[in-house]
A and B are shown apart, each in its own frame.
Chain A
Amino acid sequence: MTEQRTEALPVRYAGIDDIVNRVPVSVVWEITLACDLACQHCGSRAGRRRRDELNTAEALDLVEQIAELGARDVGLIGGEAYLRKDWLQIVAAIRAAGMRCDLQTGGRNLTDERVARAAAAGLGGIGISIDGIGATHDAIRGVPGSFELAVAALRRVRAHGLSSAVNTTINARSLPQLREIMDLIIDAGASNWQLAIMTAMGNAADHPELLLQPWQMLEVMPLLAELAEDGRERGLFLQPASNLGYYGPHETVIRNIANDEIHFHGCNAGDTVMGIEADGTIKSCPGLPSPYAGGNIRERRLRDIWENADPLAFVRRRTIDDLWGFCRSCYYAETCMAGCTWTAHALMGRPGNNPMCFHRAREMDKKGLRERLVKVKDAGGRSFDHGEFEIVVEAAAPRVADRVLADG
């Protein structure tokens, strides 16, 4: 984070003024839950549209309310946003209200005509999800042939002059393929690559075999630093999601946006980030479960929810006393505040203790230990639900007697 802002920074980059004034710089809006893929890690368990999704008039009114709060960037997600018949109307309204609009998509049916019409409506960029090479992507996305379609969509985006990005979920299957993915997407014309670790929410909670283990952050972060430097030289800008980190010598490399002193400074849900569900539910972050819902725009004005709803205020009101486990006594506790709330809550059932952390894994490793996550409770099968995991501390060398961490 820095107080300086230059033309090179993305519009969704939040500065200190945005935090002080609580401007929802980046709004992520699930406009429908309908989807043409069946992803094994989908947090919202998308597939069919919600029964009570906002109608066109409600959606267009919401655009005006978002603009009134000073938002600069609205990212449309799903489900699959382009399956909503009025999605281009929404895009055009967002642009007309002076905000940037991007689309995040699996790209399975992102036809040439759809891209052309989206560009004409004013869409700024499209991010395509690519989670592996060939069969790996197809298996994770649940549709044979979806990899080829995603890559073709990526090339199409570039051909229409839109900014093209790729989103990749780092999991046990995609981790060994990250370099190959990077080479592929550079060749296909991507200029941005957003990476996040798979979070144990929704469908992902049913696939613990795909989740990274905490000690794997010791592999992930050096690799990402290497890829970030290599990518930058080749015109690809790596963007780590909030659940990637934290600290260590790689932090400055992966988060270097024109300033090598930028570092992770804690979850910004509800401060500069807002999430919206297709039925008008407002959350502080799109991935968070229902306890973080602040209200519905069918019942209250967006400004009222954003400024006054208690469930959206947890980031700005919490203190170090709300942390627990390793994070409570961590050297970085006051800055980091246990990292990504979404990731911590999905694993541990509440925020404040996040095992998916480079610094934590390194501190454990110094003692010859590592943490392993074991699922002890299944998720219920609803959107944005989660199971429960237990942290087992074991010797860094595997197959040594386990002991359950008396954590918290």
Chain B
Amino acid sequence: MAESGRIPELLRLCRGCHEFVRLDEADCPFCGGDLDLLQADYQKRLADMHQAAAELREALARIRLSGGQSG
């Protein structure tokens, strides 16, 4: 069996200041933010954004449909 390659030490992205930090950090050493709270907030904002985008797509589809019926 050939020798394995070097498995890299991964980092996580601080959603407060966009610096990469070590996985064992609880607080960002750059901005001081709570990494888990910032990540949870980011995920919520991302979900809200996806929801808003879906609603927008539905609204546009309705407008297109009604435009097609009246035209």
Query: A residues near B, CB below 8 A?
Result: 1, 16, 18-22, 247-249, 251-252, 260-261, 263, 265-266, 268, 271-272, 307, 313, 315-316, 318, 331-332, 334-335, 337
Contacts and interface: CB of A to CB of B under 8 A. Distances in A.
A21 B29 contact: no
A263 B11 contact: yes
13 contacts: A16-B7, A18-B5, A19-B4, A19-B8, A22-B4, A22-B5, A249-B19, A252-B18, A271-B5, A307-B3, A313-B3, A318-B6, A334-B9
A3 to B, nearest CB: 10
A251 B20 contact: yes
Contact of B11 (A19, A313, A316, A335): A335
Interface of B: 2-13, 17-20, 22, 29
Given A22-B4, A316-B3, A331-B29, A263 B9 contact: no
Contacts of B5: 18-22, 268, 271-272, 315-316
- Chain A interface, DSSP helix/strand/loop, else mixed: loop
- Chain B interface, DSSP helix/strand/loop, else mixed: loop
Contact of A335 (B3, B8, B18): B8
A294 B38 CA distance: 47
B13 A335 contact: no
Contacts of B20: 247, 251-252, 263, 332
Contact of B13 (A260, A266, A334, A337): A260
Contacts of A265: 8-10
A65 B25 CA distance: 44
Which 4 residue pairs across A and B have the least CB separation, nearest first?
A: A265-B8, A271-B5, A19-B5, A249-B18
A1 B17 CA distance: 20
Nearest to B2: A307
A271 B10 contact: no
A3 B28 CA distance: 24
B11 A315 contact: no
Contacts of A268: 5
A404 to B, nearest CB: 30
Given A1-B10, A261-B12, A22 B18 contact: no
Contact of B10 (A252, A313, A335): A335
A21 B13 contact: no
A20 B7 contact: yes
A103 to B, nearest CB: 27
A316 B5 CA distance: 5
Nearest to A69: B2
A262 B15 CA distance: 14
